[in-house]
């Protein structure tokens, strides 16, 4: 069963509360911890070719999943602490990016929007 984002936020809040960890969860500390976890994710692909990065063993896939989860949980926790609705801001950002990267100019290109305006 897949938890909803709200259920996951509640589970995370309970986990933090039970351990009295909120005192350590400043936006600064959480963002730093998230970057550490993201770096651990990158380590799994560091010397791979593009093709190899798609071909993960079951063990490697599990390890990558753990790092993705760690990064996601810290991201979710930062949003909780700052009272930011991730779904709302993600939708707003997609709409903004749609304006910055119109299909007729961006399709099939990896150029930054400032390069073709």
- Compute how many other C-beta atoms are within 10 angstroms of the C-beta atom of residue 89: 11
Domain boundaries, the chain: 5-84, 86-117
Nearest of 43, 48, 101, 41 to residue 75 by alpha carbon = 41
Domain at 5-84, CATH homologous superfamily: MazG-like (1.10.287.1080)
Sign, Cα dihedral of 54, 58, 60, 65:
positive
Q: Indicate whether 62 pLDDT > 90.
A: yes
Percent of the chain residues past pLDDT 70, beyond the cut = 97
Q: Select from 21, 5, 24 the least CA-distant residue to 79.
A: 5
User: Model pTM?
Assistant: 0.88
Question: DSSP secondary structure string, 46-76?
Answer: TT--HHHHH---HHHHHHHHHHHHHHHHHHH
Band of residue 70 on the pLDDT scale cut at 50, 70, 90? very high
């Amino acid at each position: 069963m897949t938890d909803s984002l709200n259920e996951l936020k509640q589970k995370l809040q309970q986990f933090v509360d039970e351990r009295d960890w909120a005192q350590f969860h400043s936006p600064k500390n959480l963002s730093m911890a998230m970057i550490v976890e993201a770096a651990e994710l990158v380590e799994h692909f560091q010397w791979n070719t593009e093709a190899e990065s798609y071909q993960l063993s079951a063990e490697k896939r599990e390890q990558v999943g753990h790092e993705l989860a760690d990064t996601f949980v810290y991201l979710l926790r930062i949003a909780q602490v700052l009272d930011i609705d991730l779904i709302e801001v993600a939708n707003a950002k997609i709409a903004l990016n749609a304006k910055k990267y119109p299909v007729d100019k961006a399709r099939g290109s990896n150029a930054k929007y400032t390069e073709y305006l």
